[in-house]
Amino acid sequence: MQKKGLAEDELFSFLLSVKQNDRQYRHVLSSMCTLPHPVAVRAMNLFIESNLGDPGLFEGTASLEALLVNRLGSLMHLPDACGYATSGGTESNLQALRMARRGKNVHSPNVVVPESAHFSFEKACEILSLEMRVAPSDDRYRMDADAAAGLIDKNTIALVGVAGTTEYGVVDPIAALSDIASDRNIALHIDAAFGGLVLPFLPKAPLFDFQLEGVTSISVDPHKMGMSTIPVGCLLTRDPSMLCSLNVDTPYLTVKQEFTLAGTRSGGAVAGALAVIEHLGQDGFKAVVAECMANHHYLIEGMTAMGYPVLAEPEVNVAAFDCPVAPKGWQVSWTRNRHMRIVCMPHITTTIINEFLKDFGDMHA
Ligand code: PLP
């Protein structure tokens, strides 16, 4: 730290100059985050000082968190779902496995995850000392449910399915996983960090939520397709006792116990997430998702016309293509199989896709 502080003008000219080094979202085709909706920014600013780590001090914000859980629970067909606002999919997935471990007392616990699982499960398994058993994908990049069933044994505490995979945008066979989890009496966590705010707004989507009896918990991230300010995810559980199993005593706070992972938590981000949900409602979300999906299909048509059909028949707005290079100036990403991956988030317009397709075509001319 410098001995003497900077004047505000000087400080902000420094900050602005550094911000120039950040990418503008415009040419970012790889991110699952997007520009926050203006109401999220406004709401976040309104609650900027609020700390949900001590909810008794911020009862208003805490009621917004309860409403957020209720709104997302209802969307997942369980209005009574329990849950809380996490920092994102990684924390939600980690906490889901923690709950599963508390729920089944075995000596060397393991979890069965799909090959396509987000790398947050690797972190969670390492932190929780769980053996991670990886079930292979079928030829459409979805978890092979039979292979998953074959990996379950008496030490398995949970099965994981993904609704909207990070790399190929597909949904695992969640109904089959639900049957398996119920039969074998283990937890079934659904990672819908991305798909959770896409699938409910599609005219036709596979079942993935609490409508399926075996589903015990779900991750869904407002800071992805919920267009909220970062950081805010949400962990939902069917049964309150699952969350309560994580309680620790919090002697010097306004509450006696907490089940969250983080202590201090941003109330502003929670207000931002709820603001978008309340402002757009189901109709607004349907319109946003319809536009993203229309752009996603437009991209796929353009790429197919140039000889690069989409891989995996995605169900959400993530598309992967078997091509080795992307045009200069565009930020795409690459799957573990070295496929080019593009996410049509709300900041990706038809005009931007036209520019990308033109640059892609020129590159191959
Ligand atoms: N789960 C899925 C399916 C994801 O796509 C991601 C991130 O892209 C995560 C979990 C992790 O979310 P976060 O980066 O918010 O921790």
Give the pLDDT confidence of 40-57 residue by residue, as tens digits: 999 999 999 999 999 999
| The residue type at 138 | D
pLDDT value at residue 245: 97
* 210 plus 327 within the same structural domain: no
What total number of domains does the chain contain?
2
Decide whether any atom of ligand 1 lies within 6 Å of the 71 Cβ.
no
Cα(120)–Cα(116) distance, integer angstroms: 11
Cα(111)–Cα(127) distance, integer angstroms: 13
Cα(285)–Cα(289) distance, integer angstroms: 6
* 250 plus 320 within the same structural domain: no
Across the range 142-152, mean pLDDT stands at 98
Contact criterion met (CB below 8 Å) for 73 and 80: yes
* 195 plus 216 within the same structural domain: yes
193 alpha carbon – ligand 1 mean position (Å):
6
* C-alpha closest to that of 33 among 93, 71, 88: 88
Chain centre distance of CA 206:
18
DSSP string across 74-101: HHTT-TT-EEEEESSHHHHHHHHHHHHH
Domain assignment of residue 316, yes or no: yes
Decide whether any atom of ligand 1 lies within 6 Å of the 92 Cβ.
no
pLDDT value at residue 111: 98
* 28 plus 54 within the same structural domain: no
Q: Which of 226, 257, 278 represents a domain boundary (last residue)?
A: 278
CATH of the domain at 29: 3.90.1150.10
Domain assignment of residue 6, yes or no: no
* 255 plus 302 within the same structural domain: no
* 157 plus 59 within the same structural domain: yes
* 243 plus 288 within the same structural domain: no
Nearest CA to ligand 1 atom 12: 89
Q: Which atom of ligand 1 is nearest to the CA of 166?
A: 5
DSSP-assigned letter for residue 352: H
Domain assignment of residue 11, yes or no: no
pLDDT single digits (tens) 66-93: 999 999 999 999 999 999 999 999 999 9
The region, left, alpha or beta by phi > 0 then psi within -120 to 50, assigned to residue 36 is: beta
DSSP-assigned letter for residue 49: T
Structural domain span for residue 61: 38-278
Across the range 316-327, mean pLDDT stands at 96
Decide whether any atom of ligand 1 lies within 6 Å of the 169 Cβ.
no
Decide whether any atom of ligand 1 lies within 6 Å of the 233 Cβ.
yes
Give the list of residues 6+ apart from residue 338 with CB closer than 8 angstroms, or none: 324
88 alpha carbon – ligand 1 mean position (Å):
7
* 173 plus 286 within the same structural domain: no
* 32 plus 46 within the same structural domain: no
* C-alpha closest to that of 205 among 134, 290, 265: 290
* C-alpha closest to that of 351 among 27, 24, 23, 22: 27
pLDDT value at residue 365: 79
183 burial class (0-12, 13-18, 19+ CB within 10 angstroms)?
exposed
* 138 plus 27 within the same structural domain: no
Across the range 203-219, mean pLDDT stands at 98
Contact criterion met (CB below 8 Å) for 115 and 86: no
pLDDT value at residue 247: 98
Q: Which atom of ligand 1 is nearest to the CA of 162?
A: 3
Domain assignment of residue 81, yes or no: yes
Decide whether any atom of ligand 1 lies within 6 Å of the 89 Cβ.
yes
Decide whether any atom of ligand 1 lies within 6 Å of the 285 Cβ.
no
Q: Tell me which H or E stretch contains 304.
A: helix 267-305
Provide Rg for the chain, Cα atoms. 21
Decide whether any atom of ligand 1 lies within 6 Å of the 101 Cβ.
no
Pairing outcome for strands 233-237 and 217-220: antiparallel
Domain assignment of residue 249, yes or no: yes
Decide whether any atom of ligand 1 lies within 6 Å of the 172 Cβ.
no
17 alpha carbon – ligand 1 mean position (Å):
30
364 alpha carbon – ligand 1 mean position (Å):
33
Domain assignment of residue 15, yes or no: no
Cα(30)–Cα(28) distance, integer angstroms: 6
Q: Which of 260, 278, 296 represents a domain boundary (last residue)?
A: 278
Decide whether any atom of ligand 1 lies within 6 Å of the 118 Cβ.
yes
Across the range 275-304, mean pLDDT stands at 98
Decide whether any atom of ligand 1 lies within 6 Å of the 333 Cβ.
no
Decide whether any atom of ligand 1 lies within 6 Å of the 161 Cβ.
no
Q: Which of 278, 313, 333 represents a domain boundary (last residue)?
A: 278
Across the range 275-303, mean pLDDT stands at 98
Across the range 144-159, mean pLDDT stands at 98
Decide whether any atom of ligand 1 lies within 6 Å of the 196 Cβ.
no
Say what percent of the chain tops pLDDT 70.
100
pLDDT value at residue 121: 98
Q: Which atom of ligand 1 is nearest to the CA of 32?
A: 8
Contact criterion met (CB below 8 Å) for 332 and 360: no
Cα(147)–Cα(177) distance, integer angstroms: 11
Cα(89)–Cα(75) distance, integer angstroms: 17
Q: How confident is the model at residue 364 (pLDDT cuts 50, 70, 90)?
A: confident
pLDDT value at residue 180: 98
Domain assignment of residue 12, yes or no: no
Most informative mutation of 90, 190, 223 for ligand 1 (most atoms within 8 A of CB): 90
Cα(94)–Cα(146) distance, integer angstroms: 25
CATH of the domain at 163: 3.40.640.10
Decide whether any atom of ligand 1 lies within 6 Å of the 54 Cβ.
no
Q: Tell me which H or E stretch contains 333.
A: strand 333-334
Q: Which atom of ligand 1 is nearest to the CA of 90?
A: 16
36-56 burial: b if 16+ Cβ within 10 Å, else e: bbebbbebbeebeebbbbbbe
Decide whether any atom of ligand 1 lies within 6 Å of the 166 Cβ.
yes
Q: How confident is the model at residue 39 (pLDDT cuts 50, 70, 90)?
A: very high
The pLDDT of residue 212 is above 90: yes
Domain assignment of residue 315, yes or no: yes
Q: How confident is the model at residue 31 (pLDDT cuts 50, 70, 90)?
A: very high
Decide whether any atom of ligand 1 lies within 6 Å of the 98 Cβ.
no
* 164 plus 133 within the same structural domain: yes
